[in-house]
Amino acid sequence: EVQLQESGPGLVKPSQSLSLTCSVTGYSITSNYWGWIRKFPGNKMEWMGYINYSGGTIYNPSLKSRISISRDTSKNQFFLQLNSVTTEDTATYYCARYGGNFWYFDFWGPGTMVTVSS
């Protein structure tokens, strides 16, 4: 079965960069599309962007100047980098796989909580 697992620092200082890894098992990231989503305290969910099977990316315009998604196919991992973070970037970050042809997330990682604080 497809499994995803996020990893990275749980605490980041303001103005620094947030870097997370999503490790995928049971499926190759050279197929399908793979996304990052975050959930803020209070329930709001934000779609951040995705990387596709060939390495192409699409980002949420609200983050476009700060976000980068990349991958390492040899390790079957993809990555999120978010620059110049503020306390408003405190959230639980999820990676997920887009299933099928209609852009729904069918497999999710358990999520990793990231706090931005000095």
Partner 1 sequence: DIVLTQSPALAVSLGQRATLSCRASQSVSISTYNLMHWYQQKPGQQPKLLIYRASNLASGIPARFSGSGSGTDFTLTINPVQADDIATYYCQQSRESPHTFGAGTNLELK
Residues in the chain: 118
Q: Which residue stretch of 24-32, 39-47, 67-75, 82-90 sits at the interface with partner 1 (rule: CB under 8 A)?
A: 39-47
Residue 93 sits in the site that holds partner 1 (CB under 8 A): no
DSSP string computed for 71-104:
EETTTTEEEEEE-S--GGG-EEEEEEEEETTTTE
How is residue 114 written in tokens? 């990231």
Residue 118 sits in the site that holds partner 1 (CB under 8 A): no
Residue 14 sits in the site that holds partner 1 (CB under 8 A): no
Nearest to 8 by CA among 34, 51, 38: 38
Nearest to 118 by CA among 8, 9, 12: 12
Among 13, 87, 103, 115, binds partner 1 (CB under 8 A): 103
Nearer to partner 1, 18 or 95 (CB): 95
CB 101 → partner 1: shortest distance, Å?
A: 9
Task: Return residues touching partner 1 (CB under 8 A).
Answer: 35, 37, 43-47, 49, 58, 60-62, 94, 99-100, 102-106, 108-111
